[in-house]
């Protein structure tokens, strides 16, 4: 199955108020939007660029939401695509790829955990600061099936692309077609965010069980549904493999958003590869979305 | 947070992408008889035509050096293949590439259709591997060959040839017998006597030298106590290797006044490229900077083009393919 996504017409783009500080809209207004250009009949994507930060806030201990203003990314990003973010630190040059989370007007949000010095620097940034970005990058979830029920299974910091999928389906008039199953360590930090776009949020934390516990509890319900069911998943690899096994034994289609350690993020360096039934693929360019079948995960526990 | 290190600013060029793609080039160079429209090429392994041509017109580069190509497809090393290091990166791709047939059917025709000046970077595990690739490239439209005898991430061939003057002389002599294409030999810095290695390559018939390939390095995750790279060691590149690489170019230039040299290592702006020219390079290739911004090689070429305006003597030498 191809994961190349054919965009459907978006009926209504979420245009709520900017979620950042009061002057967020000013930050956005002052910024000259980046654009791809056409030279001699050839069109080129915008490369790395400096964009304003609209807000930075803590969602949970060590979990940060960072919102930038970039019209190009806001207009072109689709679920499961990601962007490279760069520190201002001359010692930490390499891109940090993050899944695109919410899109509101010209604003794009990311959610990440502070895992090292680079992400700690992002967390210290303030509204009005600038940040270098490249993107959107990568392929997208295949959301072309008009009557499918989408189950979004996320673990930990794997939730942003699923939030974007929920938003995309919501904005294209399919809000009643999603169920979000998010597994957290402790605090359910993304429930209120995904809840804006999905009216069926069934999250769980480690004390209560895991995402498979929730899937098991839906078993009977899912058997009743006549529409095709598609699971979109992103999170730790052991979780995704468990989801693949659970789904394939029930004949449910799955799409996984992989997170491999990347070099360039745009397909040039061959650092972030994954073994598929079609050979080694670049996660950043040929992914990050792959099916359980492509990954050979259908029979793995 | 600020550091003493100068920021590698992806957007320091004041030129718009439009200008970068359309302005005429003022300062061309010649490398081993091959005209380059400017002295800046892309380095092998950090350029892929399909990926990069979405961001800029690759024909604007002085040359593009393509990913090391082997006679059959190579799987490369296990992941993780990359680890960050201050002002640089450590990588162990292990020359994963889809093989010569794929290259000849896809990358090369695409590049020539786009009008690029193409350097085909050649990889092998044995002399026989290199010979087969070079033989098949003899009548293909690539403009130059770059023989990679310096990859630190493969167990056979690669760097083991490039660190042994005798073995290198033997290989380059054999390749010289079967190709008339301008042949660049890409040297490893992981040697004690770079001049001896460079002389061996030139004696055996190399038309030009490119240096350096990456330096062997590693990082360890102190939470687990385990190496970050699955391959344990990898190749270090980026601004952190710049002064080291520059000194390699200078040492080889001092010993070999006439051989064309392509300087590689840690270039992040036009001024870095200019330092290589002053150290004796005829041209440069940009590697890791392209991982930080797809259009970095083009931006660096534009910055250098402007810097050369104020250095007419250097520009004149470059234009004639002369060295020091
Ligand atoms: C991800 C990666 C892959 C590379 N692959 C190759 C290769 O296939 N063949 C080669 O000759 N050099 C390869 N190199 C080495 C570069 O061409 C260059 O010599 C080196 O990175 C130093 O330049 P830089 O500091 O500008 O990156 C690779 C470097 C990187 C970072």
Contact A93 B238 (CB under 8 A): yes
At residue A98, the pLDDT reads: 98
Query: Do A124 and A234 fall into the same domain?
Result: no
Q: B142 catalytic, yes or no?
A: no
Three-state DSSP class for residue B36: strand
User: Tens of pLDDT along A232-253?
Assistant: 999 999 999 999 999 999 999 9
pLDDT band at B275 (very low <50, low <70, confident <90, very high): very high
H helix or E strand, kind and range, residue A59: strand A49-60
Q: What angle do CA B90, B96, B97 make, to 5 degrees?
A: 135
User: Tens of pLDDT along A205-237?
Assistant: 999 999 999 999 999 999 998 999 999 999 999
Residues touching ligand 1 (Cβ under 6 Å) are A 263, 269, 271; B 43-46, 67-68, 91, 93, 95, 121, 148, 151, 186, 213-214, 237-238, 241, 264-267, 286-289
Give domain status of residue A26, yes or no: no
User: Tens of pLDDT along A129-148?
Assistant: 999 999 999 999 999 998 99
Give domain status of residue A29, yes or no: no
Query: Do A126 and A234 fall into the same domain?
Result: no
Rounded to whole angstroms, how far apart are CA atoms B291 and B294? Answer: 6
Query: Do A93 and A158 fall into the same domain?
Result: no
Give the residue carrying structure tokens 């003597």.
Answer: B313
Query: Do A176 and A265 fall into the same domain?
Result: yes
Query: Do A71 and A118 fall into the same domain?
Result: yes
Q: Which of A117, A137, A157 is the last residue of a domain?
A: A137
Which chain A residues are closer than 8 Å to B46 by Cβ? 264, 268-269
Per the structure, the complete domain to which residue A199 belongs is given by: 149-295
| Gap from A54 CA to chain B (nearest CA, Å) | 19
Residue pair A90/B6 in contact (Cβ under 8 Å)? The answer is yes
Percent of chain A with pLDDT over 90: 81
**Domain count along chain A:** 2
CATH number for the domain that contains residue A260? 3.40.50.80
Return the DSSP state at A91: T
At residue B16, the pLDDT reads: 85
| Gap from B179 CA to chain A (nearest CA, Å) | 29
Give domain status of residue A27, yes or no: no
Query: Do A66 and A203 fall into the same domain?
Result: no
Residue pair A10/A171 in contact (Cβ under 8 Å)? The answer is yes
A61 pLDDT higher than 50: yes
Q: Which of A137, A165, A182 is the last residue of a domain?
A: A137
Give domain status of residue A225, yes or no: yes
Query: Do A155 and A261 fall into the same domain?
Result: yes
Give domain status of residue A40, yes or no: no
Contact B292 A86 (CB under 8 A): yes
Query: Do A93 and A222 fall into the same domain?
Result: no
Q: Which of A137, A164, A192 is the last residue of a domain?
A: A137
Give domain status of residue A34, yes or no: no
CATH number for the domain that contains residue A97? 2.40.30.10
Query: Do A154 and A271 fall into the same domain?
Result: yes
């Amino acid at each position: 199955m191809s994961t190349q996504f054919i965009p459907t017409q978006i009926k209504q783009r979420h245009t709520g108020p900017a979620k950042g500080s009061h002057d967020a809209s000013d930050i956005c207004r002052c910024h000259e939007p980046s654009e791809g250009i056409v030279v001699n009949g050839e069109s080129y994507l915008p490369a790395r660029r400096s964009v304003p930060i609209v807000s930075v806030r803590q969602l949970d201990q060590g979990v940060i939401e960072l919102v930038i203003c970039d019209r190009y990314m806001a207009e072109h990003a689709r679920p499961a695509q990601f962007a490279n973010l760069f520190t201002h630190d001359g010692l930490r040059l390499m891109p940090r790829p993050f899944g695109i989370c919410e899109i509101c007007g010209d604003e794009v949000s990311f959610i990440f955990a502070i895992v090292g010095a680079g992400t700690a620097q992002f967390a210290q940034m303030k509204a009005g600061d600038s940040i270098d970005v490249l993107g959107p990058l990568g392929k997208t979830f295949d959301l072309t099936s008009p009557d499918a029920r989408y189950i979004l299974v996320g673990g930990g910091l794997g939730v942003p692309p699923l939030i974007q999928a929920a938003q995309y389906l919501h904005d294209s008039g399919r809000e009643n077609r999603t169920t979000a199953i998010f597994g957290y360590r402790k605090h359910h930090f993304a429930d209120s965010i995904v809840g804006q776009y999905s009216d069926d949020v069934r999250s769980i934390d480690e004390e209560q069980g895991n995402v498979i516990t929730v899937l098991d509890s839906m078993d009977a319900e899912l058997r009743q549904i006549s529409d095709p069911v598609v699971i979109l998943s992103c999170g730790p690899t052991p979780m995704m493999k468990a989801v693949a096994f659970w789904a394939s034994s029930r004949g449910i289609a799955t799409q996984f958003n992989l997170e491999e350690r990347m070099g360039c993020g745009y397909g040039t360096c061959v650092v972030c590869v994954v073994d598929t039934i079609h050979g080694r693929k670049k996660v950043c360019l040929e992914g990050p979305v792959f099916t359980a079948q492509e990954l050979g995960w259908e029979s793995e526990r | 947070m600020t550091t003493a290190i100068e920021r590698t600013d992806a957007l320091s060029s004041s030129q718009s992408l439009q200008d970068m793609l359309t302005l005429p080039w003022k300062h061309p160079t010649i490398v081993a008889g091959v005209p380059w429209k400017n002295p800046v090429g892309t380095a092998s392994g950090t350029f892929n035509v399909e990926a990069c041509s979405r961001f800029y017109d690759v024909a604007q580069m002085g040359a593009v050096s393509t990913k090391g190509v082997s006679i059959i497809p190579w799987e490369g090393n296990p992941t993780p293949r990359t680890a960050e290091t201050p002002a640089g990166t450590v990588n162990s791709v292990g020359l994963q590439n889809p093989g010569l047939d794929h290259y000849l059917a896809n990358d090369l025709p695409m590049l020539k259709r786009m009008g690029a000046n193409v350097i085909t970077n050649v990889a092998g595990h044995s002399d026989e591997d290199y010979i087969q690739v070079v033989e098949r490239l003899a009548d293909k439209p690539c403009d130059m060959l770059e023989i990679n005898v310096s990859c630190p991430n493969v167990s056979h061939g690669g760097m083991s040839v490039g660190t042994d003057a005798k073995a290198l002389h033997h290989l380059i002599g054999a390749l010289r017998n079967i190709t008339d294409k301008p042949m660049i030999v890409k040297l490893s810095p992981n040697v004690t006597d770079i001049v001896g290695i460079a002389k061996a390559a030139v004696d055996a018939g190399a038309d030009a030298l490119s240096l350096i390939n990456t330096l062997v390095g590693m990082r360890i995750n102190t939470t687990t106590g385990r190496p970050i790279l699955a391959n344990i060691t990898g190749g270090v590149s980026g601004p952190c290797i710049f002064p080291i690489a520059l000194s390699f170019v200078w040492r080889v230039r001092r010993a070999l006044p006439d051989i064309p040299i392509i300087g590689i290592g840690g270039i992040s702006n036009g001024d870095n490229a200019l330092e290589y020219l002053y150290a004796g390079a005829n041209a440069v290739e940009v590697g890791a900077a392209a991982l930080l911004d797809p259009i970095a090689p083009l931006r660096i070429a534009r910055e250098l083009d402007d810097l050369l305006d104020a250095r007419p003597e250097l520009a004149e030498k470059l234009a004639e393919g002369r060295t020091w």
